[in-house]
Amino acid sequence: MCGLTEPGPPITRPRGSVEQAQRRLHLRGHVLPEGRVRDVYVVGGRITFESPGGVEPVVDGGWLVPGLVDGHAHLALASPAGPGATEEERVEASARAQLAAGVLLIREPGSPGHASRGVGPERGLPRTTTAGRFLAPPGGYFPGLAREVVADQLPAAVSEEAAAGTGWVKLVGDFPDEHGRLTPNWESDALRVAAGAAHAAGARITVHAVMPETILAAVQAGFDAIEHGTGMPPDLVPELAVHDVTWVPTLLISDGVGDWARTGMAPSEGPRVEAWLEALPATVAAAAAAGVRLLAGTDAGMVPHGMVAAEVGQLVRAGVPNATAVAAASWEGRRYLGLPGLEEGAPADIVALPEDPRVDPGVLSRHSLTVLAGRLVAR
């Protein structure tokens, strides 16, 4: 580990707290992804590599990454606040659990409500980009979670949710019907119109897609991303790369999806979904090799919040190279969502690690220091 210059005593705060005032900080470590050892200064909530003088020491260093990213999390669901809390309380508690795990940027592809819109560093919470409410046809998603619309209402609903969110819209592309059989929710023309409406509103559009036919239809319709992609056809992978479609495979929920298929769907669906799940890791690895952009998303809501390091581990076990898997949960994820990494003038979102995560991705769960928007977060 590289130490910090001007060593002094460790700075301690109550667990999970964020300082109210921004501080001038001086860190020295391997700045990723380049890996070069540099002095990094935090002044006015931003990064500079030029010494401003008068900075205070912090005992830390090692390998510095530009914050972790959970590319698929639902803050109102599976919240530490419990089901009896208000939506706002559930969202905040989930965001704090993410922050404790070093996650400084959350992408929420859909929510039961709009309470996540105000989540961010101003409240001492991770930056959050949200898709507004899930959009599904009547009966096309878990009861009470989605905004239900029919096909001819879809363009207006997409525009409204684009305005209510912060840059994204999400459709539920398929779901078990009343007989427990997986069924596409939308015709191809509806998907194409929805994509056009989202792009006209200045938003990107993504889809919850399990079935191969749903994935193919969304790619052909011009969707920007695929969530889950459980039944991703291997021969579609080159199309993802050609059309710059991002894939968030949410491998952490694979066991849960398999259990749901066996116990909550028609008997015919279990073997089909299990076959998709068995093939999924190899397809994810092939996508990485083909240059498809992957995001590390946990689908927190089906699993607890703050597990992005475990999702990176799943990507690595699937055959994704260590550096690619780590990038999917850090600098590449941030870049895709419109934020810089550890660059001159960038927002000071920094996680310090004791070892190189490109060698041992498991170190992502052992961060030693977190800085959010220039404020020191104590572990």
98 HSE (CA, 13 A, CB side)? 42
* Distance separating alpha carbons of residues 190 and 213, to the nearest angstrom: 14
Question: Would you say 270 and 249 are in contact if contact means Cβ atoms under 8 Å apart?
Answer: no
Tokens of 204: 């990107």
* pLDDT at res. 61: 73
* Distance separating alpha carbons of residues 304 and 142, to the nearest angstrom: 18
Confidence of residue 58 (pLDDT cuts 50, 70, 90): low
* pLDDT at res. 119: 96
Query: pTM for the whole thing?
Result: 0.92
Ordered domains of the chain (ranges, CATH): 25-66+340-377 (2.30.40.10), 68-334 (3.20.20.140)
**CA-based radius of gyration for the chain:** 21
Question: Would you say 204 and 198 are in contact if contact means Cβ atoms under 8 Å apart?
Answer: yes
Tokens of 337: 């969502």
In this predicted model, what pLDDT tens digit does every residue of 280-331 receive, in sequence order? 999 999 999 999 999 999 999 999 999 999 999 999 999 999 999 999 999 9
* Distance separating alpha carbons of residues 223 and 137, to the nearest angstrom: 18
* Distance separating alpha carbons of residues 103 and 296, to the nearest angstrom: 11
| Residue 359 in this model has a pLDDT that exceeds 90 | yes
- Render the burial of 227-256: b for 16+ CB within 10 Å, e for the rest: bbbbbbeeebbebbeeeebbbbbbbbbbee
One-letter-per-residue 3-state SS of the chain = CCCCCCCCCCCCCCCCCECCCCCCEEEEEEECCCCEEEEEEEECCEEECCCCCCCEECCCCEEEECCEEECCECCCCCCCCCCCCCHHHHHHHHHHHHHHCCEEEEEECCECCCHHHHCCHHHCCCEEEECCECEECCCCCCCCCCEECCHHHHHHHHHHHHHHCCCEEEEECEEECCCCCEEECCCHHHHHHHHHHHHHCCCEEEEEECCHHHHHHHHHHCCCEEEECCCCCHHHHHHHHHCCCEEECCHHHHHHHHHHHHHHCCCCHHHHHHHHHHHHHHHHHHHHHCCCCECCCCCECCECCCCHHHHHHHHHHHCCCHHHHHHHCCHHHHHHCCCCCCCCCCECCEEEECCCCCCCHHHHHHCCEEEECCEEECC
Any idea which residue has 């259990």 for tokens?
A: 259
Tokens of 102: 């070093």
Which residue in 329, 310, 354 sits closest to 67, CA to CA?
329
Indicate left, alpha or beta for 102 from its phi (over 0: left) and psi (-120 to 50: alpha): left
| Residue 11 in this model has a pLDDT that exceeds 90 | no
In this predicted model, what pLDDT tens digit does every residue of 15-40 receive, in sequence order? 344 444 467 889 999 999 999 999 99
Cα separation values, 101 from 17, 132, 269, 276, 279, Å? 13, 24, 35, 30, 30
Burial of 47 (0-12, 13-18, 19+ CB in 10 A): buried
* pLDDT at res. 20: 40
Neighbours of 332 (CB within 10 A): 22
Q: Supply the mean pLDDT for the chain.
A: 92
Candidate from 15-29, 115-129, 145-159, 163-177 with smallest mean pLDDT: 15-29
